[in-house]
Amino acid sequence: DDPELHPEPKLTIITDKHLPGEVIDEILRIKGVRDVSIIS
């Protein structure tokens, strides 16, 4: 979602591969990211 248009923007990533912990750590370092939810 565009943060200029939505007060609570979300990014959804869909993959059929396992995400390494390092990738999740990198996502969490992005300014404005509060949390990451993983649903398997």
**pLDDT tens digits, one per residue of 1-40:** 777 888 888 888 888 888 899 999 999 999 889 899 888 7
Residue 24 sits at φ, ψ, to 5 deg, of -65, -40
Phi-psi region of 32 (alpha: psi -120 to 50; beta: other; left: phi over 0): left
Total domains present in the chain: 1
Length of the chain: 40
User: What pLDDT shows up at residue 8?
Assistant: 84
Domain range for 22: 1-40
pTM passes above 0.85? no
